[in-house]
Structure 1
Amino acid sequence: MLSNQTDADVFQALRSGNLVALGILYDRYGSIVYRLALRMLGNTQEAEDLTQEVFLILWRHQNYEPKRGSMNAFLSTLTRSRAIDRHRKMRSQRQLIQKWSSSIFPENQNSLMDKISFQEISHRVREALSQLPNNQRQVLEKAYYEGMSQSEISQDLNIPLGTVKTHKRKGLIQLRQILKDLVESR
């Protein structure tokens, strides 16, 4: 029975395409990964998402090497690394929002009217993004909402770096045109 096997044997079964093996590894280590993710991220939804991401990586990339350490150590290291990446992206998003917010609302940023106006602008930007071709929208969202670099976007979308740069430039030009009245009024 597979559930009585060692982690190395179960992982070998996963490599062979046995998805039951992934369930067994999840049963063994899912709560450990989740608790670590929760402790690092401080948010249950983010911790759940990260736990799912870690096990998807284990399944898709199958880069665990039993000779280098235990499954527990591997998954903990992977969880820690991905949590740090998420912190960086969230910090980048916050900085971008603060930058936009301070340029749009330089004085008295905390008033109710400023907050409402900022929400309206955010809504308009989201609507404008939805009007862009999918490839341009996807690149801009990854750059500005997820805080990814152009090379990270290139890897994530599996497209050449030059294509990412082109999509980003064209998307920004189109976005500026769509939001022309908003840009000119500031």
Structure 2
Amino acid sequence: MPVDYPATEDQVLLAHIVNRQTEALSALYDRYGRLLYSVAYHLVGNQQLAEEITLDVFRRVWEKAGSYKADRASVRTWLTSMTRNRAIDMLRREGVRPEHTSISWADLTFEPHADGHSPETAVSQKMQNQRIHAALAELPEEQQEVLLMAFFNGYSHSQIADHLTLPLGTVKTRIRLGMHKLKLVLQP
């Protein structure tokens, strides 16, 4: 009887991946690919690097699914941690530090933008986004995760609680603490 991968639990999917069942990896990618891309993008601020990081994480899952320890973290947390670590490694390798701003030449062109904002406004917004990404990278993983889900992926607090199997109060506390830390870091 064929396995219904979309309905299969994460840990069972990993067991199938250990047995080299590509459909299980595909199901895991369908389940978490968007989230991992979002985490990577928000850390590196570059679409191409974020895609590379996401694919690299799933390549590592294919190679090392047997190293997953269920008693240490959920599959989701394990994948998110690998993504975060891979993004930080890539930033180091590329010689980029998220706390420093890097503006591309295209950002400095003096053509009016389609949205009507001046080039100065666009550059200022890009610099602010980079500061936010760097500040997010400094937060504890559990606060990063809920903030990314709430503000970048549009999940409600209840949806986050359901998805992470956490009490609603815990989700709200993590969001509140994370926002407080971001506010402290981002204040001029």
Q: More helix per residue: 1 or 2?
A: 1
**TM-score using structure 1 length:** 0.48
Q: Which has the larger radius of gyration?
A: 1
Higher relative contact order, chain-length normalized (CA < 8 Å, sep 6+): 2
